[in-house]
Each structure stands twice: as C-alpha cells, then as structure tokens.
Amino acid sequence: MGAIIDLNHVPDYLSWHFIQVSLPNLIVVIVMLVVFAAAILLPFPHHDDQEGER
C-alpha cells in the first residue's frame, strides 16, 4: 500500500537564525494551533433552560 505523497526524500527545511524546522512539521504545528484557537474561540453548545425546570 502506497502513501498519498512520496515520503522517501529529504524534507525541505526552513531556517531562521537558530530555529530550523522541516516544512511538514511546520504545517502540522500550524494546523494544531488553528484547531486549538478554534476550540477556544467557538462557543460550547448549550441549551436554554428555565430556572427550576428540568
């Protein structure tokens, strides 16, 4: 069974001073930050309940 993309090559690296990260890892980190921000900013589902009624 093959992968969707070819994983048998050296990944591209991005360097900024002392920080060096591969492009696939940077994409994963950005997606994780977007999901985390969405989880914080989106409201939790709730139902309107009258006081005393259950």
Per-residue pLDDT of the chain (54 residues; tens, 9 = 90+): 566 777 788 888 889 889 899 988 899 999 999 999 999 998 877 777 666 555
Beta bridge partners of 14: 21
**pLDDT of amino acid 4:** 77
10 Å Cβ neighbour count for 12?
A: 9
**pLDDT of amino acid 7:** 73
Q: How many CA atoms lie within 13 A of 9 on its CB side?
A: 8
**pLDDT of amino acid 53:** 54
**pLDDT of amino acid 54:** 53
**pLDDT of amino acid 49:** 67
